[in-house]
Amino acid sequence: MGNDISTNGFMDFSVFPIKEPLHILKKCVGSNQKKLLVVFNQKNETPERVEFLKKILAAAKFDMDKDILLLRLTDEEAFSFIVTRTKAINHFEQGEIDNLLVFGFAPKYFGLNLDIQKYQPAHFYKCGLLFADSLAILENDKGLKGMLWKAMQEVFF
């Protein structure tokens, strides 16, 4: 097709095909008692990194099995967080998502065209947002762990 604007140089930005909200919500595990969605990239997932994530969450008084929704994503599963958050109200018993904690993805991956820096808490549509490096990067960097802890205190306490 000669007039496809997605391939002819008209757009100077990346276009992300997004997944349907129900596809994303079905991938979530946990009971969401504290209305926190935690997202991480499953590409480099190991049992040790899952344990590391449990420790991070436990330090902020979150039980990974009871308190949160956990979402493991691949690089090909971009989605609209705002639309998915709206759909979650009808999908889960504890439907609302009040906070989003992300490891290893940029805001644009979630349909958020926001200039949010890693480890800088933000609020958008009455939802706390916190983006951090991947668990693989965090686990070996004491300085980044400290930045994450400080940011988590601002969002969750």
CATH number corresponding to 21-156: 3.40.470.10
Decide if pLDDT at 139 tops 50.
Answer: yes
CA dist 62 and 72 (Å) reads 17
Other Cβ atoms less than 10 A from the Cβ of 59: the count is 13
Name the residue with higher pLDDT: 42 or 11: 42
> Helix, strand, or coil here: 149?
helix
Q: The whole model's pTM is what?
A: 0.86
**What are 80-99's pLDDT values in tens digits?**
898 888 888 777 776 789 99
The ranges assigned to domains in the chain are: 21-156
Q: What is the pLDDT of residue 13?
A: 59
Decide if pLDDT at 4 tops 80.
Answer: no
